[in-house]
Amino acid sequence: MAIIDNYLREMLQRKGSDLHLAIGKAPKIRIHGELHELDIPPLTPEAMTEALKPICPDHRWAHYLQHHDLDFAYEIAGLARFRANYLYNYNGMGAVLRQIPSKILTMQDLKMPEVFQRVCQIPTGLILVTGPTGSGKSTTLAAMIDYINATMARHIITVEDPVEFVHQNKKSVIVHREIGEHADSFADALRGAKRADPDILLVGEMRELETIRLALGCASMGMLVFGTLHTNNAPKTIDRIIDVFPADEQGQIRTMLAESISAIISQLLCRTADGKGRMAVHEILLRTESLPNTIREGQISAIRSIIENSGNTGMCSMDSGLRKLLAENRITPLEAYMKASDKKEFQAYLTELTILK
């Protein structure tokens, strides 16, 4: 058994989500958002190599040594799958391994609002799920693809680095493509995928200019494209996409985005009131008659008003979602305050709590 399996098994026993390895430090696991050290001596360079190399395919290990960065999926048979990120830092080799849940959680399991089902029924366009690293974007997307798979006959192609959730065909046909194994890059994978007659494309990472350009192109061709970005809200998401492109292309991209954007779902994870878990809070922007013109004219600040004035359609701001969770006593006032955009509004909840105490 690989040495790293022992660390991963202990992480799972303690209901952790991530394993962090760094030279000169003991392995750490993340439990409900907080890091805890394992009772293991600090890792030496030799111990790090002994932990990382055995679970990595030889050709991927050579890539890691050359480029100092690698993502791949690893599985302990019969137990769990993990997304592995090998990296280099000041002290040398390091790694973070995140558990990929063996069971794909449904929308019902995740208590996702009804509006998510409506989003999944959108026939074409670009749907973005955004949030910081570790905010549950992959889990949310997996639940949405599972809903489509269970209720519609679609040809779905996922492009990921690495493949995380493996879907079994239900009503839909799903093809998983992994960067590094089935294509050299997201751009190459998308070029191939759009010739394979897909109804739906899932792009695991929209980081590079060419990937974003191809995703927008596929959406404009009549496909439904799901993608992720590391942004915290809808206005920042629009700005991030446009800013990736050179100044002389931004007008054209703004027009393409205006025509193709169907929904932006931003997500954060909050610690539950009992401290025993975490739950998602969302900001949801849906396409309206006014949204395309708002994007074309660069009036990105007006998107906030569109969201706040369209609650009856299923849209909501992050702060309104936090207020709802707070009213239901599902999160604490302090957690709401820490995650809120408008801190002043949530300061009142902290004051009231202090008075009660």
Look at the block and give the residue holding tokens 């990595």. 56
Q: Which long-range contacts (CB under 8 A, 24 or more apart) does 171-179 make?
A: 172/148, 174/145, 174/149, 178/73, 179/71
Query: Rounded to an integer, what distance in angstroms lies between the CA atom of residue 47 and that of residue 45?
Result: 5
For the chain, which domains are there? 3-100 (3.30.450.90), 115-316 (3.40.50.300)
Residues sharing a CB contact under 8 Å with residue 299, sequence separation 6 or more, in sequence order = none
The total of other beta-carbon atoms located within 10 Å of residue 311's CB is: 12
The secondary structure of 42-91 as a DSSP string is PBPHHHHHHHHGGGS-HHHHHHHHHHSEEEEEEEETTTEEEEEEEEEETT
Q: What is the pLDDT at residue 334?
A: 92
Helix (H) or strand (E) holding 149: helix 137-151
Alpha helices in the chain (DSSP H): 3-13, 45-52, 58-67, 115-120, 137-151, 186-193, 209-220, 234-243, 250-260, 291-296, 303-308, 318-327, 333-339, 343-356
For residue 134, which amino acid is it?
A: G
pLDDT given for residue 348 in this prediction:
82
**Global pTM value:** 0.85
Residue the block writes with tokens 């600090």: 42
CA geometry: angle at 278 spanning 277 and 279, to 5°? 135
* Tens of each residue's pLDDT in the chain, 357 residues: 789 999 999 999 999 999 999 999 999 999 988 899 999 999 999 999 999 999 999 989 999 999 999 999 999 988 889 999 999 999 999 999 999 887 899 999 999 999 999 999 999 999 999 999 889 999 999 999 999 999 999 999 999 988 889 999 999 999 999 988 888 899 999 999 989 999 999 998 898 999 999 999 999 999 999 999 999 999 999 999 999 999 999 999 999 999 999 999 999 999 999 988 889 999 999 999 999 999 999 999 999 999 999 989 999 999 999 999 999 999 999 999 999 988 988 888 886 544 444
Which residue in 316, 309, 254 sits closest to 285, CA to CA? Answer: 316
Classify residue 19 by its DSSP letter: E
pLDDT, position 357 = 44
